[in-house]
């Protein structure tokens, strides 16, 4: 994504007032509150989408009031959705991958061997650390969650540990590694949006990122796991897995292939598609009984066509376990492209709302209002954090939440005598990390769908994502680890970007 893709209007409508600008936001908050009150945990299965669509209509009416015609507002919806099409494709591909990897025995093998290796006493901290290491090497929190995360969620269920805490640990580790990886798209975008050197940006982030992750690991270690399953229960689970699948270490090969593709900078979407097809091939080679069972049995069908039917079903409708073991059936019955369609629906509605806010100038107007009254470095950093969080909520996409404030605030940091490295770091500390805490943001929706845990359920345990913005604000008010502006160096960097 380039900065020009954000379609910020060159001039803001002069007729905008705080009342008009806040009208769509207040309307959305009221509707979302009613949605949760009326539908509870099921609000994301359609009610929230209606709220977002209605709020987009209000934003379009405000735009018309200040001189932005419907044609431009509609184009804003189209452009907003276009920003999220790549994540949507990845989301659908991950659904395919989960289905074939379960059918192939890859996910069951990860669970089978994982319960032998991982100590439930330190499971949460170990999960965060493992995800962090892998995410640094490949630069993608989504890929880590969609591969290792799936296995770790299964292992946690096997130990009878909290799915919400496990998801928080996976997300904490995945975003720590993603944030510090030079291969991460958001890391590169933050550096580009502020005009700083990529590796200087990464080094400056260590000041806030490492202490925050250290505190998160301590929190995960502190959380007890006294309710973990007993060894006899683990043995029963392993036996049930072995009865349903032909378990072997070779079934972990699709995971290694996937990580290898991403590490070699293979684009995410084709890498996930290829990995899903590798899972389908492994299912045909090693799990033919499971494939035939998913297809509904042989009957009068040709053997090869039955195998093709089973594999095809796993791609679009996921795997359905009928072992008779309720726990195992609930653990393995998931995946398929169809499992992601509700999440896609939510993302498209949210991005459409964000696109209208951006095209009508409401979003930029709200950002400018946020700068009023800022008179210290701590206030500037706090405002940046709140702005990025607000943009994640309103625009529903972390790329916009990184690029738009980065472009608008870069001169303000210099006015306060601060290097743009402080801005680039704060963008990552807030925009990148809080995106996953918003249910309708592309990141929050993806993680909830992939890990099978509602965003509001795992958010309190995504300790790293919660702590890092607070550490950034504290540094601002303490005037700690803030790099002063260096005009000559900044000019050189600006000339090369």
Q: What is the pLDDT of residues 96-119, one digit of tens each?
A: 988 999 999 998 888 888 877 777
Residue pair 396/345 in contact by the 8 Å Cβ criterion? no
**291-319 mean pLDDT:** 89
Residue 341: which residues within 8 A CB-CB, separation 6 or more?
none
Question: Residue 490: is its pLDDT beyond 60?
Answer: no
What's the mean per-residue pLDDT of the chain? 85
More confidently predicted of 399 and 417: 417
All structural domains of the chain with their residue ranges:
86-339
477/87 Cα distance (integer angstroms): 36
- Other Cβ atoms within 10 Å of 489 Cβ, number: 14
Q: Would you state the torsion angle of the CA atoms of residues 88, 155, 138, 249, taken in this order, to the nearest 10 degrees? A: -110
**296-321 mean pLDDT:** 88
Question: Residue 410: is its pLDDT beyond 90?
Answer: no
Question: Residue 213: is its pLDDT beyond 90?
Answer: yes
Per-residue pLDDT at 10: 46
388/377 Cα distance (integer angstroms): 16
Question: Residue 250: is its pLDDT beyond 90?
Answer: yes
9/64 Cα distance (integer angstroms): 15
């Amino acid at each position: 994504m380039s900065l020009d893709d954000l379609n910020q209007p060159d001039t803001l409508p002069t007729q905008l007032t705080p009342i008009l600008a806040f009208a769509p936001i207040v309307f959305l908050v009221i509707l979302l509150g009613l949605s949760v009150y009326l539908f509870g945990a099921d609000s994301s299965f359609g009610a929230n989408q209606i709220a977002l669509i209605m709020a987009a209509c209000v934003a379009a009416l405000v735009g018309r009031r200040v001189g932005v015609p419907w044609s431009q507002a509609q184009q804003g919806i189209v452009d907003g959705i276009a920003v999220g099409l790549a994540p949507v494709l990845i989301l659908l591909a991950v659904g395919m991958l989960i289905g074939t990897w379960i059918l192939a025995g890859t996910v069951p093998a990860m669970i089978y061997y994982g319960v032998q290796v991982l100590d439930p006493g330190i499971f949460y901290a170990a999960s965060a650390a493992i995800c962090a290491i892998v995410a640094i090497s490949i630069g993608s929190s989504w890929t880590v969650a969609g591969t290792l995360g799936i296995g770790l969620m299964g292992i946690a269920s096997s130990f009878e540990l909290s799915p919400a805490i496990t998801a928080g640990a996976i997300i904490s580790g995945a975003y720590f590694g993603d944030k510090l990886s030079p291969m991460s798209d958001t890391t590169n975008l933050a550096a580009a949006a502020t005009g700083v050197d990529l590796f200087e940006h990464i080094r400056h982030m260590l000041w806030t990122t490492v202490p925050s992750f250290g505190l998160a690991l301590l929190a995960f270690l502190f959380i007890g796991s006294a309710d973990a399953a007993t060894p006899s229960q683990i043995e029963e689970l392993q036996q049930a897995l072995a009865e349903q699948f032909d378990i072997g270490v070779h079934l972990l090969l699709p995971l290694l292939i996937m990580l290898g593709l991403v590490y070699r900078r293979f684009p995410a979407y084709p890498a996930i598609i290829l990995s899903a097809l590798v899972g389908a091939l492994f299912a045909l080679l090693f799990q033919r009984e499971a494939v035939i069972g998913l297809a509904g049995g042989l009957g009068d069908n040709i053997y090869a066509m039955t195998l093709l039917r089973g594999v095809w079903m796993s791609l679009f409708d996921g795997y359905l376990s009928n072992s008779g073991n309720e726990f195992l059936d609930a653990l393995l019955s998931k995946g398929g492209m169809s499992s992601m369609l509700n999440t896609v629906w939510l993302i498209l509605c949210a991005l459409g709302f964000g696109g209208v806010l951006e095209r009508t100038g409401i979003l930029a107007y709200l950002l400018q209002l946020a700068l009023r009254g800022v008179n210290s470095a701590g206030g500037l950093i706090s405002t940046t954090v709140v702005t990025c969080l607000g943009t994640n909520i309103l625009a529903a996409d972390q790329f916009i939440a990184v690029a738009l404030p980065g472009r608008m605030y870069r001169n303000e940091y210099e006015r306060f005598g601060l290097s743009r490295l402080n801005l680039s770091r704060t963008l990552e500390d807030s925009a990148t990390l809080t995106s996953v805490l918003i249910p309708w943001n592309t990141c929050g929706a993806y993680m909830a769908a992939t890990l099978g845990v509602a965003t509001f359920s795992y958010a309190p345990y995504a300790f790293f994502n919660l702590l890092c913005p607070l550490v950034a604000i504290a540094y601002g008010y303490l005037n700690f680890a803030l790099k002063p502006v260096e005009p000559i160096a900044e000019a050189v960097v600006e000339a090369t970007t």
